[in-house]
Structure 1
């Protein structure tokens, strides 16, 4: 087994077994804070000496969550709440719940009522995040979160501690950008399932520890000789493409994902937090500059312009939209984005995905047909 495979094997295991990773932190006496989608201020958790841990649902069938959510709420939240109601997260110190969409606002109230053992930290970021008033609001909310984390960790969170955490996360972002760029050039070495595993494991590992592994992986990929890829090349866009059935289809079709515009994926790493005298200002500025995300206010549809740029930059042949079922922001975005791509002559495919889906055979037919068109 070569060095690339050894690193990938470790990250694959962690991404596939988050509960085991969580148990290791708890056994070591660490306090762990669950972080729901999207854009939780993980640096503040780390600065408090606690471990941020991603909660992005699971591929399970829900029963208890149906008592709290109507069936037309996205499965990311339904399955996360289901696990919470069944006690899977009872040993967490708290959970952070952002309010960036209407479903998340309902999630906060449902969690408080149904999962009483795990307190909620509300993450309220301004929708008009670029203007000064929005920036001021987000900073004020981060100050409230800082105070809550101080109470939970029973230790003060200094500006120096936040600045150190920001530097650690910025280094992770830099290394992940390096890996994602190298992975796009080496689809023969990094399949989409591997790309997903490296990204997903970042939600379950200490940032510095994850950075060490990925830095070595990125350097090995950069040293590898480039080879031509015979299959189709695409950019994937959406909130998440972390669905086992869909990933298998991509691999079976020898589909090279040469770049992505995924909230759970590269959008997490594209921009560093600016280093400012007050580190909370830099954290608020960063979310104000993120583009391409369906859950962030985007009146000018910069997401579409960014997609076009990514396709041309990566020499991709098309775009696959992986749309989370019942996600209003993604549904609203699709029509104008498809129109923008068509004007540039870029073919696209829409796939609707659900954590509770029994199979993806309809998606398989669509992907296979799309690959034939691209070829």
Structure 2
């Protein structure tokens, strides 16, 4: 049963376009692309549309996007632009781009210039996120996104619809957090690839359906006794670590991921939308206030290292890996402080540089092999 459920997640994660097109056709709904790193999916869901995570691709040659970006741009951003230009994303009725980095701000301008057939909704997340003025600003941004979605939908999005979506998403977040813990206590049952596809599949299907899948998976895992993994248990952080080749290299060297603070995975589910607030948009703004340990959320106390160290202790991890996205300013700033903080607390750490255009990760393999020997 568990393997069947994991197989379903894998089918969805490895065939995103087919999955999304099937939903559009069979359910007669529209789909909106959610460009990383974070976005108001609840508003898209409340509009009766399918939010689709767009995280680039490992299987694409960059050609058209070279006209818009310099070579020293994060490969996921280049891949998203390429897929927009070559028509892969034509089934989408719009995309939401959060201006969280210079590359994403550039992407929004280039998208307007190059991908004219897919409407762009741009929004900015404030860095003064804990101040009342920052939350008010974000509320206005969310209101603007809501209005743009209403144009695509053709009718108003009601407050009750958004509240229902918030409730659904909070329930889904709780289920994903539970899966993350259960996967860490059953490392022989859920391997690195399987753990990754459970998170990845959530980007390509309605949350209600994914929630049902995860609840079944969690129930089945709870029936099993806790397992002792014969290799090394590791915690990972960074923006993304879903390259199947790297996950397999970790497997080859007896390393099992038992926890993460990856933007693409656990960061999406770590913070619920609070119930406090005069309306749904204020509640969603307060979620941004509450997020910690997220590379794009201003953090004067530099908590990422401390939070990763706590996760290492909670999950009995033998070491931690920082997967830094090549040409990502956010990772370049965070990684040295993170490494220093974890080493100071006695944890063994490794940094690797990941790139969707890297066709031969031999250097990463060598570094992981050396790290496995240290552990």
| TM-score of the pair, normalised by structure 2 | 0.98
How far off its partner does 1:225 sit?
1.3
Which residue is 2:74 aligned to?
A: 74
**How many matched pairs?**
372
CA positional deviation for 1:106: 0.2
8 Å contact kept, 1:100–1:127: no
1:119 deviation in Å?
0.6
Decide whether the 8 Å contact of 2:234 with 2:258 is kept in 1. yes
Deviation readout 1:186-231 (Å, 9 max, x if unpaired)? 1100111111100000011100100000011011112111221110
Alignment-derived partner of residue 16 in structure 1: 14
Aligned-residue RMSD, C-alpha: 0.9
Partner in structure 2 of residue 53 of structure 1? 52
Q: Return the alpha-carbon distance in structure 1 between the equivalents of residues 225 and 170 of structure 2.
A: 28
Q: Which residue in the other structure is 1:196 paired with?
A: 196
CA-to-aligned-CA distance 1:144-170 (integer Å, 9 cap, x gap): 111111111011111100000001111
1:133 corresponds in structure 2 to 133
Q: Contact 2:98 / 2:124 at 8 angstroms: preserved in 1?
A: yes
CA shift for structure 1 position 307: 0.9
In structure 1, what is the equivalent of residue 165 of structure 2? 165
Q: Name the stretch that deviates more: 69-78 or 122-131.
A: 122-131
Match of 2:38 in 1: 39
Structure 1 distance, partners of 2:361, 2:372, is 16
Match of 2:29 in 1: 30
**CA offsets 1:256-291 (integer angstroms, 9 cap, x no match):** 111101000101111111124401111111111111
Q: 1:91 deviation in Å?
A: 2.3
Structure 2: gaps (5+ residues): none
- The C-alpha deviation readout for 1:4-49, integer Å capped at 9, x for no partner, is 0010000001000001111102212211000000211000001111
TM norm structure 1: 0.98
Structure 1 consecutive aligned stretches of length 4 or more whose deviation exceeds 4 Å: none
**For structure 1, which segment, 21-30 or 351-360, has the greater mean C-alpha deviation from structure 2 after superposition?**
21-30
Cα distance in 2, alignment partners of residues 279 and 9 from structure 1? 36
Which residue in 2 is equivalent to 1:258?
258
Contact 1:235/1:310, CA 8 A, preserved across alignment: yes
CA distance in structure 1 between the partners assigned to 2:269 and 2:115 by the alignment: 31
Equivalent residue number for residue 104 of structure 1: 104
Q: Residues 1-375 of structure 1: matches in 2 within 5 Å?
A: 3-28=1-26, 29-59=28-58, 60-275=60-275, 276-374=277-375
Whole-angstrom distance in 1 between the partners of 2:297 and 2:251: 30
Native 8 Å contact 2:20 2:205 kept in 1: no
Distance between the aligned counterparts of 1:281 and 1:170, measured in 2?
Answer: 16
1:335 CA drift (Å): 1.2
Report if the CA contact (8 A) 2:187-2:228 is conserved: no
Residues 259 and 314, structure 1, Cα contact 8 Å, conserved in 2: yes
Secondary structure at the residue paired with 1:203?
helix
CA distance in 1, matches of 2:253, 2:123: 40
CA drift of 1:365 comes to 1.3
Which runs of 5 or more residues in structure 1 are unaligned?
Answer: none
